[in-house]
A and B are shown apart, each in its own frame.
Chain A
Amino acid sequence: MFDRPTEFDHATLLAVLARADVTRLTALAETLLPQLVEVEVLHSRTGLVMLPMRDTVKGTDFHLGEVLVAEAHLRATGCEGYGMVVGRNLEQAMAMAVVDAVASLGQSPEILAFLATESAEIIVRDTARLCEVEATRVEMETF
């Protein structure tokens, strides 16, 4: 068995929350919400993120196009939380912001367990897909 991490770094925490199961994320956020005092929602909105890409021929950065995202930003006594997810699910972004805010005060066993479960599921999904991709590997031979 793998040991459960004692803490997730902030970038990993946010990336896992952004790809976590939405129903479970929302349920976690609802249980954590009472820990936040005087919550003020700064943003709950959809909007665009421009996605640049680097050209592999001349190394030029250019804009590939825009991605619709949902964003939530909240402030509570002693902490701030932020969520941004690809798509337009405002509830998902707000749940992410709530968990981020509570986690900034300390990653409780409840949050750690959630992150461990969700990151493991993400790895399982990605690995399953890459096993399917690997099945399409070919060797080219010329005669």
Chain B
Amino acid sequence: MAYVATRGGARAIDQSERLYRAEFGQIDASRVDTLRRALPMLIDRVMGEASLYEPDLAALALAQTGGDLYEAVLLLRAWRTTQPRLAIAAPVLQDDLITHRRISAAFKDIPGGQILGPTLDYSHRLLATDVLQGSPYTPTPVDPAAAPAPAHQPSLAAWQKAQGLVADPVREDVAPDAIPDLTREPLLFPAKRAHTLQSLARADTGGMLALGYAAMRGYGNAHPTVNELRLAEAEVRVTHPRGTVFSAGRVKVSQAEVTSKGKSGQLNLGFCATLGWNEVKVISGATLDLNAAAAPKGSPVEEEFFLYHTEPVEASGFCIHFKLPHYVTFQSALDALRGAKTEAQKVPA
């Protein structure tokens, strides 16, 4: 191990940080509030990858980093460590989700019906350039239906299991405080399913898309169709000191199942969920989960490959550490190169 001293470093480092922050100026509560209201999808993405649900803090992290997503996620993950864990909530069950969007691309007549919810899926992608000419864009309000949609929608997978279309493994009851937890134990392989799904829930959206897309294009062993995609709110059910279980409020969650025809005469399903509303992430994650079972070693859909390479803080941190001084390591490589060259140029006696 060797060290490098940087002369004049403290002043230069201070000035470089000032130069960075000068780009986006003063941060105040109003800016944070505006970011939170104007960019809910980005806020959701940051919260999901940080694995911490608090929209105001996510907006602050974005404001403070000038929108650098990896830095924002790092800030939130770091801040999280200052907080005590007070409780583990009751598990969120699909049947209890307050559902805002729920579609299936595999089955058109799903129990409960198809509800598009908030989406740009069928919209024209036109940039509203008039806004830059001084004409504000005001979205047209929804014409609400006379009667509300049911708050809860039945599980498609449960219906498929009842029909014998997909396997229905016997589930093992685990107390909430015994659920394996990646924030307190390392990820080891073969991974426990609870670790895999927690890791996917907090993974980098872009990384998951890249690897999931590779599987979709053919570098996997199963082509996905969306069995069910759901955007919803989940109640955070905690326990009062007198034992009453109650909802302390709601958080936004996304979940996806993707399916493909299995070899056993049944459908195979992959699953992924995350905090916040982030469809690309959960569809990609479910695709990776679907492909993982039969993946060859070293392929992008092998569990160890995709879980290690989509952890946003570790991956971005490792990437940017290459900017830091590597002079001694590199000097050693140069010395070896020069030595080899000298040896090669020696004329045999």
Residue ranges of A at the interface with B (Cβ–Cβ < 8 Å)? 10-11, 14-15, 18-19, 45-69, 71, 73, 80, 82, 84-88, 100, 126-142
Docked CA distance A62–B56 (Å): 25
- Of B114, B157, B245, B246, which is within 8 A of A140 by CB? B114
Contact yes or no, A45 B84, CB < 8 A: yes
B94–A58 CB distance below 8 A? no
Task: Indicate if the CB atoms of B181 and A50 lie closer than 8 Å.
Answer: yes
Q: Mark B223-245, 1 if CB is under 8 A from A, else 0.
A: 00000000000111010111011
Given contacts A62-B179, A62-B201, A134-B148, contact A48 B83 (CB under 8 A): yes
List 7 A-B residue pairs with CB atoms under 8 Å apart, sorted by A's residue number. A49-B238, A51-B275, A55-B197, A56-B158, A62-B195, A127-B148, A135-B144
Q: How far is the CA of A50 from the CA of B116 in the complex (A)?
A: 30
Asked if B321 is an interface residue, CB under 8 A from chain A, the answer is no
Residues from chain B with a CB closer than 8 A to the CB of A126 are 98, 148, 151
Known: A64-B275, A141-B108. A53 touches B147 (CB 8 A): no
A65 contact from B52, B56, B142, B248, Cβ within 8 A:
B52
Q: What is the minimal beta-carbon distance from B260 to any residue of chain A, in angstroms?
A: 13
Give the CA-CA distance A80 to B244 in the complex, in Å: 13
Residues of A within 8 A of B101 (CB): 133, 136
> Are the CB atoms of A52 and B149 closer together than 8 Å?
no
Q: How far is the CB of B103 from chain A (nearest CB, A)?
A: 8
Residue with the highest number of chain A CB atoms closer than 10 Å, among B89, B150, B151, B270? B89
Contact B249 A86 (CB under 8 A): yes
In angstroms, Cα B143 to Cα A134, docked, is: 10
- For the complex, what is the distance from the CA of A12 to the CA of B198, rounded to whole Å? 30
CB neighbours of A54 from chain B (8 A): 91-94
Which residue from chain B places its CB closest to the CB of A46 in the assembled complex? B83
Verify B247–A15 contact, CB threshold 8 A: yes
Interface residue total, chain B, C-beta cutoff 8 A = 91
Establish whether residues A69 and B248, one from each chain, have CB atoms under 8 Å apart when the complex forms.
yes
Neighbour of B240 across the interface among A65, A82, A87, CB < 8 A: A82
Interface string of B280-324 (1 = CB under 8 A from A): 000000000100000000000000000000000000000000000
For A53, list chain B residues within 8 Å (CB): 91-92, 197, 234, 253, 255, 273
Contacts of B171 in A (CB 8 A): 58-60
Instruction: Please report the C-alpha to C-alpha distance between residue A102 and residue B145 in the assembled complex, in whole angstroms.
Output: 41
Question: In whole angstroms, what is the CA distance A131 to B117 when docked?
Answer: 11
Partner of A56, one of B174, B194, B244, B257: B257
Q: List B contacts of A100 (CB < 8 A).
A: 240
Query: When the two chains form their complex, are residues B275 and A55 in contact, meaning their CB atoms are under 8 A apart?
Result: no
Q: Check B335 for interface membership: any CB of A closer than 8 A.
A: no
For the complex, give the distance between the alpha carbons of A58 and B238 in Å: 25
Which 5 A-B residue pairings sit nearest by Cβ, starting from the closest?
A86-B249, A59-B171, A130-B148, A140-B108, A134-B145
**Cα A141 to Cα B115 with chains together (Å):** 14
What are the interface flags for B74-105 relative to A under an 8 Å C-beta threshold, 1 for contact and 0 otherwise?
00000010011111111111100011110000
Contacts of A66 in B (CB 8 A): 51-53, 80, 85, 183
B175-192 to A contact mask, C-beta < 8 Å, 1/0 = 010011111000000000
CA distance A10 to B117 in the complex (A): 33
Contact A18 B89 (CB under 8 A): no
